[in-house]
Amino acid sequence: MKCPKCKDSVLIRPLPTKESRVRQPYSCTDCGGMWVTREEMDSQDGVFTENPSLEPDADLPFDPDKRTGLCPLGHGLLIRARVDLDPPFFLERCSACGGIWFDKGEWNRIAENHLIDNLSDFWTSSWQRKHRQEKNRQSYLEMNKSILGPELYEEILRLADTLRDHPEKLRAMALLRQEILESKETAN
């Protein structure tokens, strides 16, 4: 099994430590991250601890938390979820097999904050947040369409499309505003 974060590292099972006789999850000897399968997740009952002998290489050329990788079991890209602790970090999970990748230190932070039993919420809530934002935007647009009428609505959206990436969009908006207010003054 390959490490999702390191290019050429393989995952190994560290030997049980004196403190813990529990079979340890697969881990990477280069970045110190570990892969916990769904079965291990379900059966671990808070007994895993990160293996202290696995420290990230001092000269690791990248920050593992900034990367997303592939499932070590070959199911494709892992799905990230933000954990809003201070400082925040990301967990990665395989949506096919349910395995979760913990960069070095992440398991301990999750455990210290008693979040292990509710891990799947992280993926649900970030999905929901995105979904809700999209739904809010759709209903906002629908409301405006019905108030402004379809013709004006389409015209405004077309203009917005044109201006979105235009280098002089601020000037264009100022001109539009100016023209609207000018004509109002003249009409009054």
Footprint of Zn ion on this chain (CB under 5 A)? 3, 5-6, 9, 28, 30-31, 71, 73, 75, 94, 96-97
CB of 131 to Zn ion, least distance (A): 23
Residue nearer to Zn ion on the CB measure, 73 or 116: 73
Angle at 113 between CA 24 and CA 15, to 5 degrees: 10
Are 60 and 121 spatial neighbours (Cβ–Cβ below 8 Å)?
no
Q: Which of 7, 36, 8, 2 is nearest to 22 (CA)?
A: 36
What's the full length of the chain, in residues?
188
CB of 99 to Zn ion, least distance (A): 5
Residue nearer to Zn ion on the CB measure, 31 or 36: 31
Are 13 and 23 spatial neighbours (Cβ–Cβ below 8 Å)?
yes
Q: Which of 59, 23, 73 is nearest to 44 (CA)?
A: 23
Write out the H or E segment, with its range, that includes residue 110.
Answer: helix 106-112
Residue nearer to Zn ion on the CB measure, 101 or 122: 101
CB of 11 to Zn ion, least distance (A): 8
CB of 106 to Zn ion, least distance (A): 13
Residue nearer to Zn ion on the CB measure, 75 or 109: 75
CB of 32 to Zn ion, least distance (A): 7
Residue nearer to Zn ion on the CB measure, 1 or 172: 1
Cα–Cα distance measured from residue 148 to residue 79, given in angstroms and rounded to the nearest whole number: 40
Are 34 and 107 spatial neighbours (Cβ–Cβ below 8 Å)?
yes
